[in-house]
Each structure stands twice: as structure tokens, then as C-alpha cells.
Amino acid sequence: MKNYLVAETAIFDRKPTPPALQIGAGRVLVVEDSLDNQILLKAFLSKQNLEIETADNGLVGLEMALEHSFDLIFMDIQMPEMDGFEAVHKLRVAGYHGKIVALTAHAMKGDRERCLESGFDDYLCKPLSRYTLLECVSRYIFP
Ligand code: MN
């Protein structure tokens, strides 16, 4: 339980949990090397009528995105095997046009620009607000 509380502060901020979205279903791929973050994101997004698949690194995420159909991809930046910048770049080169949002702990100046240049549609900083995450889901899956 303690580990989950530590991870909770890492992936989500401390704002209260928003009510579930009362909208249609969608398929989301979460590409994230932290198992704790995967579990927390999956638990939260599953309550929003979303079907969640997870990938442990950019290489697996790249393969899954090309083989299966997703309405939205959330992708961590720092990952083993292949980072988020490389994975999104390779996906765009391969002709992938789906929405991909970066999730990163790196709030450094210029990161947003680098994310957008690499091919991400948008960029969210950890710790995430659950409201911001839902707003992002609504914007990209159910516009
Ligand atoms: Mn990471």
C-alpha cells in the first residue's frame, strides 16, 4: 500500500478525483515503464468507460500502436529500450496519424516544443491532475 501512495504522488496530483465521464467508450494505450504508474492510470481510466492496454516501453508501444487500433495513446518520455521521443517519431514516419499525448516528469523549458516537434499532439506534466487527464481524453477521443 505504501508503494502505491508514493506512486500516486508521482503520477497524480492531490486534487480530488473527478466524477466519471458520462460519454462513449474508447480504446487507450498507455506506454509507461513504471508499473505503479501503469496500474494507477489503468485503474483511473478504466472507470471512464475506456478500454486500456499498456506497454512497458517505447518499442513495445510502437509495435502495439501499429498492430492494433487505439483512439488515444498516452506516452511516457523516459523509458528503457526506446524513449517516447523516438517512439512517436518512428510512429509518425510509419504513417501513424492517431492522437499521441506525452506524459512526462520533465517540465523543463523547451520540452513542450520538443514534444510537438517529435510528433506528439500534446503534452501533460506529471504529477497529473485527473481533471486535466479527463479533459485531454474528452478533447481527443470525444471532440
Ligand atoms: Mn519513465
Distance (Å) from CA 26 to ligand 1 centroid: 24
pLDDT at 8: 41
Inter-axis angle of helices 2-11 and 35-46, to 10 degrees? 80
For residue range 79-105, what is the model confidence (pLDDT) as tens digits?
A: 999 999 999 999 999 999 999 999 987
DSSP letters, 50-76, are EEEEEESSHHHHHHHHHHS--SEEEEE
- Ligand 1 centre to CA of 34 (Å) is 6
Are the C-beta atoms of residues 34 and 77 closer than 8 Å to each other? Answer: no
What pLDDT sits at residue 5?
46
pLDDT of res. 107 = 65
Whole-number pLDDT of residue 14: 76
Q: Which residues of the chain have pLDDT under 70?
A: 1-9, 21-24, 106-109, 143
Q: How far is the CA of 22 from the centre of ligand 1 (A)?
A: 30
Which residues have C-beta within 8 Å of that of residue 91, sequence separation ≥ 6? Answer: 62, 65, 66, 100, 119
